Amino acid sequence: MPATADPDPHPDPSKLRRTPADTGSMPSSAETNGASCQQGDISHTREEVGFEKLPEDMVHYIHSHLHVQDAARAACVSRVFLRSWRCYSNLMLGDWTLGLAEKKYEEKETSLIDKVDKILKNHYSNGVKVKTLSLDLYGYENINASYLDMWLEISVKSGTTELNLMLHPFMDENYYSFPCSVLSDTAAASSIQTLSLSACIFQSTSTLGCLKRLKSLDLSMVHITEEGLGHFLSKSSALERLVVYGCSGIICLRIPCTLQQLKLLHIITCEVIQVIVIDAPNLCTLYFNGGPLVEISVRNSCQLKNVDMWSGYFSAPGILAYARARLPSITPNVESLNLRSCKENVDTPMLSSKLIHLKNLEIGVVGSSVKAFSPSYDVFSLVSFLDASPVLESFILWVEQDALRKNPVVGDDEKYTSRKPECRHNSLRQVTIMGFCLAKSLVEVTIHILESAPSLERLMLDTTRGCHGNSRFHAVRGSGQCLSMSKKALAKAHKAVEFAGRYIAGRVPKGVEFQVIEPCSRCHTANAGDT
């Protein structure tokens, strides 16, 4: 794919046509059009006449919805789109959009700097207002900060609504210090609606202008202090979405009550955060992933209906126990709860507290060949969540391969009995267990649900862990193929199918749709690996 250069803002019709092979870039508008006219290209002329008939604002509208690479190329072959290019306002610049993906690294970095510099300077010199500026510079370690400062200074003006800056975490061995002066101008600051910063230092936030239209803020691996973030949020009263990922310098994350419009909060892998205080009255969705278990306080929780809490492989253990003990008081109105745990040292506690509005529950028991749940952990203790949820309608339990490999397996005792249910789950209608295996406590959970959920309509046990093409979880879309399974996983899946027939099928009440997903005889035999 040839590289795309910024069309010449002042074309010279006398230039001779050169091919992309000659120049390493798309021919300019003047070159293409001049050659076409000299050669009597009737079809091209007719196309131009057709575009000329369109109102200018319609041409701009069409052009603005093209990808930047397509927009630049359209400008290279059409006078109409060349005029529009001089007003093209959505610039998403990176090695792929600039046609540099296939170049060697040394060439790529030099070409990227040159092309970005030319495009932004041409727009600036022609007085074009940049509406969207996305600089994807991930993977480039040697871009001088002076270039970044200049590009931001000449591009981010009144009328800029979106700014995305993705940098390499180790660029020039030092984090880039984002120039807050870019957003100190009141007109520029007040027009920004989306801001995404990655791998930089954000300081001197006291100089920021009022970000009165800012709706979405993403901070990824950004060095910012608690005070700095506080200043930032105090100037962003219209904020609806906040993502804080891997940010250092924040021990106590405070979400103030002034964020009346905040609907979604993501906190991901922030290792130093110890306390999260949320006072946003209209927050609907809270997503917490990785890092240590923290003290979470939600002062206005009436609208908080969706909660996701995930722990990574290097996170502190016990997120299921933590969620069961704390969420009824932290988020009493939660309706949808999604939990993922890589490690539990103790059973999920059986408590009297309730999640009285919870309708949809998904729990992931995640493990690997290196890290598995403790042999003493009893999966049956997850029933505590069912007991706490009187209006629960849907339950999905995801068991990753090897997560329970140290747990006791079902024996061959035909007199196998269930544990006596203590609560009735009168609203539970849909149950799915992904990764159904021979873990004894998992079979006990399944039987418990069958005997305590009179409203149950459907039970699905997937022994392939979503590798079957009919599964809504991991189907290979449109390929007609299932995901591959190793020989070891296949053997376990076939055994699980056998035990589902032996211990589960006969206990399924009449009227309940019962489905066991087993390995596909066509795909899984062919795709089986050696391990």
Asked if the structure places residue 82 within a domain, the reply is: no
Do residues 469 and 451 share a domain? yes
At 134 the pLDDT is 93
| Residue carrying structure tokens 């959009």 | 97
Do residues 474 and 504 share a domain? yes
Contact indicator for 9, 122 with CB cutoff of 8 Å: yes
The Cα–Cα gap between 327 and 306 comes to 12
Do residues 330 and 247 share a domain? no
- Has residue 120 got a pLDDT over 60? yes
The Cα–Cα gap between 124 and 151 comes to 10
Do residues 269 and 412 share a domain? no
Asked if the structure places residue 425 within a domain, the reply is: yes
Contact indicator for 438, 461 with CB cutoff of 8 Å: no
DSSP string, 475-518: --TTT--PPP-BHHHHHHHHHHHHHIIIIIGGGSPTT-EEEEE-
- Has residue 369 got a pLDDT over 60? no
Asked if the structure places residue 115 within a domain, the reply is: no
Do residues 263 and 318 share a domain? no
Do residues 248 and 283 share a domain? yes
DSSP string, 265-312: EEEE--TT--EEEE--TT--EEEEESSS--EEEES--TT--EEEEE--
Asked if the structure places residue 16 within a domain, the reply is: no
CATH at residue 299: 3.80.10
Provide the domain count of the chain: 2
Do residues 277 and 326 share a domain? no
pLDDT-derived band at 43 (thresholds 50, 70, 90) equals very low
Do residues 328 and 267 share a domain? no
| Boundaries of domain holding 289 | 129-304
Average pLDDT of every residue of the chain: 80
How far does Cα 55 stand from its chain's mean position? 39
At 170 the pLDDT is 65
Do residues 319 and 375 share a domain? yes
- Whole-model pTM: value is 0.80
Do residues 347 and 441 share a domain? yes
Residues 287-342 have pLDDT tens digits of 999 777 788 999 988 999 999 999 876 677 789 999 999 999 999 999 999 999 88
Q: Select the more confidently predicted residue: 259 or 20.
A: 259
Do residues 359 and 282 share a domain? no
What token pair was written down for 326?
């704390």
* Domain final residue pick, 304, 322, 343: 304
Geometric angle at alpha carbon 46, from 27 and 63, rounded to 5°: 55
Asked if the structure places residue 7 within a domain, the reply is: no
Asked if the structure places residue 79 within a domain, the reply is: no
Asked if the structure places residue 411 within a domain, the reply is: yes
What token pair was written down for 118?
């030319």
What token pair was written down for 527?
């795709």
* Domain final residue pick, 284, 304, 324: 304
DSSP string, 199-265: SEE---GGG----TT--EEEEES-B--HHHHHHHHHT-TT--EEEEES-BS-SEEEE-TT-TT--EE
Within a 13 Å sphere around the CA of 211, how many CA atoms are in the beta-carbon half? Answer: 30
At 342 the pLDDT is 84
User: Could you tell me what percent of the chain has a pLDDT over 70?
Assistant: 73
Mean pLDDT to the nearest integer, 479-495: 78
* Domain final residue pick, 304, 323, 345: 304
Do residues 256 and 338 share a domain? no
